[in-house]
Amino acid sequence: MSINKYRPHIYFLPEDDATRQLAVGFYQKVPDQRLIQILPPAGGWTDVVEQFLVEYAPTMQDLEHRYVVLVIDFDGDAKRLQYIQSKIDPSLLSRVFVLGSLLEAENLRREIGKNFEVIGQMLAEDCENQTKTVWGHPLLQPFEHEIERARNTLGAFIFS
């Protein structure tokens, strides 16, 4: 089954295979998987931004139910979030989310001690249950505002 572009849906645009696996784990816990499409890895965080701006942002103007989650590694640069948001058309900011580990997904995997897909599943369970078992991890905490914004917006139709 594929997504219905005229109903609320989410594109996950991952940076690399590790962030793609996180998205896959999240997807596995979503009750209606037709709401999510995981795109191929872009190849790097700058590639994620460029691909979003060139391929997906223009279509979002006409598709009011499309949301996009850019899944990146922040590589120790928490200011990357503001930089990326500054590149996004302000009219789309409420439907675009930038999520990822302060360092790299591999650091998150090592610290939690689970594989990427299991971590993604745990993140989905946190969203569904309104908990912070994984979302509260120190590598994700610098982005708490972005996480809450995503959980409030996307969780409302994913886990309703």
The pLDDT tens digits for 15-58 are 999 999 999 999 999 999 999 999 999 999 999 999 999 999 99
Q: Cβ contacts of residue 29 below 8 Å, gap of 6+?
A: 120, 121, 124, 125, 128
Read off the pTM: 0.96
Q: How many CB atoms within 10 Å of residue 109?
A: 18
> What CATH architecture applies to the domain 9-158?
3-Layer(aba) Sandwich (3.40)
pLDDT in tens, 94-113: 999 999 999 999 999 999 99
Task: Enumerate the domain spans of the chain.
Answer: 9-158
- The C-alpha atoms of residue 70 and residue 86 are separated, in whole angstroms, by 14
